[in-house]
């Protein structure tokens, strides 16, 4: 019986070690993939969300100023035309 227990313990230890190796390989693969994706994205001219939001706010402000200037111009043209 002692031999069977030793064999089962050895198999159990082997499986535990195999799972540890598989987990390490998984983490290494994830790290490599993340690194590759980071490099790929860095090579592209994508903007960050913050940059996009900043330009969007500037465009909105410019539209509002443009509308205000149109209204002011219309008012001035109305005064000189009357």
C-alpha span between 67 and 17 (Å, rounded):
70
C-alpha span between 30 and 16 (Å, rounded):
21
Return the higher-pLDDT residue of 48 and 33.
33
Do 34 and 1 fall within a single domain?
Answer: yes
C-alpha span between 43 and 66 (Å, rounded):
36
Do 19 and 55 fall within a single domain?
Answer: no
Domain count, the chain: 2
In whole angstroms, what separates CA 20 from the centre of its chain?
Answer: 30
For residue 29, the SS3 value is helix
Domain membership of residue 77 as a residue range: 47-82
C-alpha span between 25 and 44 (Å, rounded):
29
Tens-place pLDDT, residues 38-77: 899 888 888 889 999 999 999 999 999 999 999 999 999 9
Q: What is the reported pTM?
A: 0.46
């Amino acid at each position: 019986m002692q031999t069977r227990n030793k064999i089962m313990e050895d198999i159990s230890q082997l499986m535990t070690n195999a799972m540890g190796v598989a987990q390490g390989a998984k983490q290494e693969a994830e790290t490599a993939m993340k690194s590759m994706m980071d490099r790929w994205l860095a090579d592209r001219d994508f903007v960050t969300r913050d940059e996009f939001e900043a330009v969007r706010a500037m465009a909105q402000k410019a539209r509002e100023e443009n509308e205000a200037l149109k209204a002011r111009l219309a008012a001035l043209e109305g005064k000189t035309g009357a």
